[in-house]
Structure 1
């Protein structure tokens, strides 16, 4: 009785396609995180360079 309810629940969950969007979003986020970890040093250098430029431009504007 209980086993058949669990089995039918698992079948319904497997056939349900509403969760596919969630799975796709999770996979996309994982890929983005992996890419960010691979290029972490380059991303950090780029952001630091951008902030340095912003700081220099703002100092020039205030002087």
Structure 2
């Protein structure tokens, strides 16, 4: 029984999934917190691209 618990404790089979889920949660949280800043940045970049494309 002790060996089974130790083997389970040392197993890392599900660690990749947990890492991906945690990274996704952090990224979604950052997007929610900085939504206004991200939106204004993207709008600014797109308007500059449009203005530069119209000059060509």
TM category (shorter chain) comes to 0.7 to 0.9
**Deviation above 6 Å: which 4+ runs of structure 1?**
none
Bigger relative contact order (CA 8 A; separation at least 6): 2
Paired positions, count = 49
Question: What root-mean-square deviation, in Å, do the aligned CA atoms of Structure 1 and Structure 2 show?
Answer: 1.7
| Structure with bigger gyration radius | 1
Structure 2 unmatched ranges of 5 or more? none
TM-score (ref. length: structure 1): 0.71
Aligned partner of 1:26 in structure 2 is 21
